[in-house]
Each structure stands twice: as C-alpha cells, then as structure tokens.
Amino acid sequence: MATAMTDAHRMFLQSIMTHGALKAREVKALYKKCCETFRRPLEHDNLGKFVNEINHHVGPFSMMIQKGVSEEDGVQYYALVNMMESDITRLASDYTETELEFFKKVLDLIVDSDTGVASSTDVLNLTDQLYEEQNRKMRKKEAEDVIRRMVRDRWLNEHQGEISLSVRGILELKPYLTDHYKEDIRQCCLCEQIALKGQLCQSDTCEAKMHYFCANRYFRDKDQPRCPRCKAEWDHMVISQGANGHSQTEETPASQTQGRKRKVPSRH
C-alpha cells in the first residue's frame, strides 16, 4: 500500500519547486528539517525512500524528482522534472515568447561549441540574429537581463564571461535537448548522463565522451590512460576545483584543447 502524502512530503516538494535545483547536501538538510518540523521519524539512510514516496504521488502528473550531476564540479543535485513536455515553452510562464526564442539560440551556441560554453559577447550578438531571422527586436541590455534572470532561476550558469547550461537546465530540458540536437548530444560513457562539457576520444572512429570530473576520477590511478570504449590512447586533462567551486585546468595537452570538430546539422 502506497504511503500517504504528508505535510513533510509537501514541504519538501515545495522547497524543491521553489529553488529549481538543490545540492545533495542541501536536500539532506531539507529532509531533516521536514522530518523535525512535522515530527516524522528521521531515518538518515531513507532519503531515497522519502523521495520515491513523493514521486509516487506526483508521477501521475508526469512529474518526478530526479538526481543530476553538475558539469561544473561533479556535485549531485536534485530537481523536479516535467517528464511529459519536451518543448521549451514550459518556461512560458516566466519568459516572453521573444525571450524564449533568444534562449533557444543561446542553447544552439552552447550545444554547437566544442567546450559546452558560449561567450557572453557571442550571446549578446544573438540579438542581431534574432532580428534578422525572425524580425524580433531585443536590445543587448534586455538580453543581459534575460541571462541574469536565467542564471538566477538556475537554467544557466555564468562564470567569467562564459555561459553554460546548468544542471537544472540539463535535467528539465533533457527531452528537448535529445530531440532537437540528435546529432550533437552525447552521453558521458562513464556516468551515462548528458555531457556538454567534457573530453572527446581522439580516435576518429570512436564517439566516446566523458565529463571532465568523470575522466579525472577514471584516470586518476592509471599510468597509461586509454579510452574505456575503444582502448585508444587518451590525452588526459587534469581538473582541479578552484576556491569558487569551478573547474580549473592544471594541465591541458595541445591535442585535447582542439578536440574533434563536429558536424553541425541545420535546424528548422
């Protein structure tokens, strides 16, 4: 028999919805707070069961709390994901139609790049493209405001002039990303999550890709790193975490910085 939805469950769900995405340690603290607030027995090893109980009740509405990993630092997050909507219009309640068209073009830049990021300059220049292709007017100052709001709402990350898709964006927009960018989206061959930022196997016949942090863990104790899929030599890029939590390159082989160019399909 399914567990009834309690006030502790509702408080937990509401907080996830409010924040968009929460780090695993924040979710554990939230679980503890919900249990203490409503005098529910606190079982530290039962967070997964607690989340599954919520998912049982929100599942019929095509919603689910899912776990994802930040491409910035490998930290695990939780987010409430709409499993049915595959179109970006799910953001329509918070953004105008023109702002969503702008966001789509930002996604194009991010996905089509070799690094999984787009420069803020290139992003702002999309306003010209928006007008030329769709006759939609947006000033660069308005575009800056949209980016700030999307960073605030945790759809995007911004760091030192580089824009990337956040863990919430990847989780919630996964159906849109995999459908719209069929030729470009790859999964990390280690964690099997979408990998926009990462390393590509240098073999022309291999499609393997890894997140930087996954590659770092996998190759940590290997003297002669090789691709886990095709066994070709792998130029390992060592990643460390800076004081601000963002990935920093300690050693970048020349062959790795270039990567393999991908064929960019036309999109309609």
Q: What is the pTM of this model?
A: 0.77
Q: What is the DSSP string of 184-214?
A: T--B-TTT-SB-SSSEE-S-TT---EE-HHH
Q: Do residues 114 and 259 lie in contact, with contact meaning Cβ atoms separated by under 8 Å? A: yes
Does domain 186-255 fall under CATH 3.30.40.10? My reply is yes
Contacts of 47 (CB under 8 A, 6+ apart): 27, 28, 31
Specify the CATH number of the domain 7-82: 3.90.1150.220
Q: For the chain, where do the domains classified as CATH 3.30.40.10 start and end? A: 186-255
pLDDT tens profile 172-206? 898 889 888 988 888 999 988 899 998 888 888 99
What residues does 240 pair with on adjacent strands? 248
Q: For the chain, where do the domains classified as CATH 3.90.1150.220 start and end? A: 7-82
Specify the CATH number of the domain 88-175: 1.10.10.10
pLDDT tens profile 63-102? 999 998 888 888 999 999 887 766 787 787 889 999 999 9
Q: For the chain, where do the domains classified as CATH 1.10.10.10 start and end? A: 88-175
